[in-house]
Amino acid sequence: MKVRPTHRKPTRHRSKLTAVAAIALAGGFLATPSSQAWDNDPNVTVQGGGGCQKLFFKATSVSFALDNGETATSAFSGRSYKVNFTNISGAPLNGNAGYALVECTNVLNPAQKYYWQRGVSVQRPRFGKIQTFNLGGG
């Protein structure tokens, strides 16, 4: 007597679940995020990290000054900062230039500080409102 192998029959139930999952996944990719930045939305959050090159110094704050007159300051939390701008140019200019000034404080003697600066360009992201900009160390 010959025994035939049994094969699973495809079920409509499994096919329907697969189709529903594929549609839901595609819908999630195609949906616009709630934090979508548009050309007429001048709000941009800049975040990133930074440090100091001298031994026993740590970055304690950063101040931004842009060519449009806008300024922002943030204390470092760990080695990262976060600032908000409300007047960033859109198309055709798309962005504002300026500089970031980082304050480095001695961990052993907090009265001892030094400052370094770096040129920056704050741009409107195509998606969302967050631009990541790591300042490096100075």
pLDDT tens by residue, 87-130? 998 876 789 999 999 999 999 999 999 999 999 999 988 888 99
pTM, two decimals, is 0.70
- Which of 38, 136, 120, 125 has its CA nearest to residue 72? 120
Distance CA(85)–CA(109), nearest Å, equals: 33
101 burial level (CB within 10 Å; 0-12, 13-18, 19+): middle
At 128 the pLDDT is 86
Higher-pLDDT residue of 23 and 34 is 23
Domains and CATH numbers, the chain: 44-132 (2.60.40)
At 101 the pLDDT is 97
Higher-pLDDT residue of 33 and 5 is 5
Measured in whole angstroms, the distance separating CA 23 from the mean position of its chain's CA atoms is: 29
Within 8 A by CB and 6+ apart from 91, the residues are 39
Q: Would the CA dihedral through 23, 24, 29, 35 be positive or negative?
A: positive
pLDDT tens by residue, 50-65? 999 999 999 999 999 9
Are β-strands 44-49 and 130-132 bridged in parallel, bridged antiparallel, or unpaired? parallel
